[in-house]
Amino acid sequence: MNSRRKFLRNISLAAAATWITTKFVKADSLGSENIFNSEKNLSSPASKGNIILSTWAAGVAANEKALSILNAGGKAVDAAEQGVMVTESDKTNTSVGLSGFPDRDGHVTLDACIMDEEGNAGAVTFLEGIEHPVSVARMVMEKTPHVILSGDGAQQFALENGFELHKGMTDVARKAWEDWQKTSNYKPVISKENHDTIGLIIKTAEGKLSGSCTTSGLAFKMHGRVGDSPIIGAGLFVDPEVGAATATGLGEAVIKICGAHTIVEMMRNGKTPQQACEAAMKRLVKLQKNYRDIQIGFLALNLIGEIGAFGLQPGFQYS
Ligand code: SD4
């Protein structure tokens, strides 16, 4: 059966149900029973309504904002942008926005991207001093002939387009950075604190898809390091004919399998979102020798409203 027909078969099997958006739940993980050889039915109930999925518990507030944008008649891309803007402005989030932990040289450098319902894409990487990198990414998408602007160039573009410059870091971040400098031991850990990046994907009731992803990246990373979050196809991918996927966790591991694109392509070839998240994780585990020491979370949804979520380690939550 060709892949298109397989995908259509999945569509016809799906049942309609309502999905509750304002909660967060634990994803299956490598530590769960039956994983990777699962006999269980890996299809989620499909929903004909709006579906908004985002990484971690902090995503609840972002989802609520995104839903309010859709309910007010906004487009999927408006909801994708404004949803994660809530997280970018959350002063308690040390993984996203200007309250994020700095790199090892004391710079808070931000990565973000966005994709719209037509598969258009914009991103900024290694951007300093701007509260809403996702909005700069949207402007890159809509106002420039490019997809990614980086570093000083991204900042210059933001300032030229009316964004304000904010310098420095929060007291919490400074304290964490000073503590870290006592040992300067850089090892990505799987703790919750180091992983609160938001990736948000949307399917509207009309079948329009969009997504966004925004982060301050790994705490105390090397200066200049860019993770998966702003890389189209790694931290986020939207295929208007198929579905969308996003990732969180150790970006280097996600980039090496083009995580989000791999998941979406597997859905195109007939896998459910859940099967695709698990198959992509399987591929990652094969490549990533230290997979026991890192955390990765994948989220996916398809055009018929099925969803998938999978964490490499127990503890990955999504909203
Ligand atoms: C990165 N994927 O920069 C991001 C980190 C992350 O929650 O997801 N943190 O590699």
Query: Going residue by residue through the chain (319 aa), what tens digit of pLDDT does each one get?
Result: 444 444 333 332 232 233 444 566 777 777 665 455 554 555 666 778 899 999 998 899 999 999 999 999 999 999 999 999 999 999 999 999 999 999 999 999 999 999 999 999 999 999 999 999 999 999 999 999 999 999 999 999 999 999 999 999 999 999 999 999 988 777 756 554 456 899 999 999 999 999 999 999 999 999 999 999 999 999 999 999 999 999 999 999 999 999 999 999 999 999 999 999 999 999 999 999 988 888 999 999 999 999 999 999 888 889 9
The closest-lying atom of ligand 1 relative to the alpha carbon of residue 297 is 8
Q: Name the one residue in this structure whose structure tokens are 């002939």.
A: 145
| Residues paired with 199 in a beta bridge | 213
CA atoms within 13 A on the CB side of 112: 35
Q: What is the pLDDT of residue 156?
A: 98
Q: What is the pLDDT of residue 14?
A: 31
CB 313 within 8 A of CB 54: no
Q: What is the pLDDT of residue 46?
A: 72
197 is catalytic: yes
Residue 148: enclosing H or E segment and its boundaries? strand 148-150
Q: What is the pLDDT of residue 194?
A: 54
- What's the gap in Å between 59 CA and the centre of ligand 1? 14
- Mention every residue, 6+ apart, whose C-beta is less than 8 A from residue 267: 7, 242, 243, 245, 273, 276, 300, 302
Q: What is the pLDDT of residue 193?
A: 46
The closest-lying atom of ligand 1 relative to the alpha carbon of residue 221 is 3
Q: What is the pLDDT of residue 293?
A: 87
The closest alpha carbon to 143, from 127, 157, 159, belongs to: 157
CB 197 within 8 A of CB 96: yes
- What's the gap in Å between 24 CA and the centre of ligand 1? 19
Q: What is the pLDDT of residue 160?
A: 98
Is the pTM value of this prediction over 0.85? yes
Q: Which residue's alpha carbon is at the smallest distance from atom 10 of ligand 1?
A: 251
- 3-state SS assignment for residue 39: coil
The closest-lying atom of ligand 1 relative to the alpha carbon of residue 196 is 7
Q: What is the pLDDT of residue 212?
A: 98
Reading the block at residue 181, the tokens are 């400098």
Ligand 1 pocket test, pick from 110, 125, 127, 228 with the greatest ligand atom count within 8 Å of Cβ, gives 228
Catalytic: which of 55, 109, 197, 215? 197
